Chains A and B, each alone.
Chain A
């Protein structure tokens, strides 16, 4: 059991983090104080073309000099600083959160449609799998993850998330079950533009992990949600599927339901299932994924985890509990429960 909530303002009007902190705190009982986190899009307008790389350092000596070295090899550090944090009575400081604003040198590699993103992905995988005492947990442009092992309110106050303003926010309150609670294991999980919050378990983790690893990803955070972020990156960024289609590949309809569809749709859905068999996710889950262009929420096909949707004008909310939406937005207009496996999409309007 975990608690998740996400919100998008489709007109890109920015909201500070105070209301999502209240919403996540309302779902306190869905966690166990061993992990909470937030991600916001649009928070670094001063660095609109830099990758914001958030790192947990165990100390600022060896791991940091190694990260500096590898980053400088591949690009230019435009600015760097410790992420401001504020001591909380019950939150033990296990790592030092640091951020780099970074521009990779794209002219050094060939054979890539998007060299900047491929370099950043390479850096994240390299740092996380080879540099002891450093973990990159956020690597997108104009977005940032803030997470730690603690209760929702403590983690929010540790980073003072009300000081950040974003047009998309996701938040997660963790109740670790299969893997230990630690800073890197808290959600959201992020790679490049993708961020994921997840309630449940991916019991097909082994199959999904082999699939993403055979495509050049490395799972280093000892938790199943990480693989969801990489699946979205692979299918969405590299294969170019729209979010509805990704959800269809990860949580497809049952064969007997596909049999009832018109022929053309059947053909598409069969092809998707056959092509992306190893990407199919089994087990109980409710997930919200964000990119700078929008958010998508969905559950497993037999709905073993809760998900509620609320709308109010340009705002779309997706949450584990209705009350969490209402505490964020007392004026919320419509509240409904999507069907199992049905993608709920909120896109930025240009």
Chain B
């Protein structure tokens, strides 16, 4: 099924998507997307949605299951509180990508803005992934409570050069290509060595990500990464209460 979204407001567009999914459609292509918000919000299905253009904010919010492929850039917060499924963005994305994400995958080929992966979380088998081919701005993984963030820094001297990486992190891990200056770490974040075990554990994910964004994975399958984790399991235990 193909939808021409030229000049269309997001409400009728999302209604059309919902109706199509309810009637059993499993493949949707949306052309001429420009700024329409909330695409695929709360959708529970295994539908594949190809978005040609620049979707508006909160693409795939609360979504559980679908695959959204964006041929273009994306505005703020794709994957906001997403539960399951995959978003692949072949361009760049705005601020707060994968905001509060709780499951599934967000893959971005280009760069992302500020506060990527802010407050991602995990529970039991649910472990969300945010992978970025390019670079990110400041406060990556801010208040992160779980999940994995990977940044490859393709086309950049260093994967991340902005401050506040993992500021307030208390769960999950941030994997950055190459070394990262200590001064860029946020409060509560700790840098550890990326080991062979880490590589074995993560190489299927790195390979999958590279394949989805159409780059050769072999150049990224080594231990030249920095791993950033919480400084302790409860780094802010004494911040608001005193024992």
Contact = CB atoms under 8 A, between A and B. Distances in A.
Given A302-B138, A306-B94, A337-B94, A326 B54 contact: yes
Interface in B149-165: 162-164
A256 to B, nearest CB: 8
A139 to B, nearest CB: 34
Contact of B113 (A27, A257, A306, A324): A306
Interface string B99-120: 0000000000001011100000
Nearest to A26: B35
B37 A29 contact: yes
Interface residues of B, number: 23
A335 interface: yes
A323 interface: yes
Interface string A23-36: 00011010000000
Given A321-B75, A322-B73, A327-B34, A303 B137 contact: yes
Contacts of B56: 321, 323
A340 B35 contact: no
A23 to B, nearest CB: 9
A326 B34 contact: yes
Interface string A316-350: 00000111101100000001010110000000000
B143 interface: no
Interface in A293-327: 302-303, 306, 308, 321-324, 326-327
Most buried by A among B37, B114, B163: B114
Given A306-B113, A322-B73, A339 B137 contact: yes
A257 B139 CA distance: 15
Nearest to A299: B114
B137 A321 contact: no
A26 B34 contact: yes
B95 A327 contact: no
Q: Which 9 A-B pairs give the minimum distances between C-beta atoms?
A: A323-B35, A303-B114, A323-B34, A26-B35, A323-B54, A337-B113, A321-B75, A306-B95, A322-B54
Nearest to B114: A303
B76 interface: yes
A324 B34 CA distance: 8
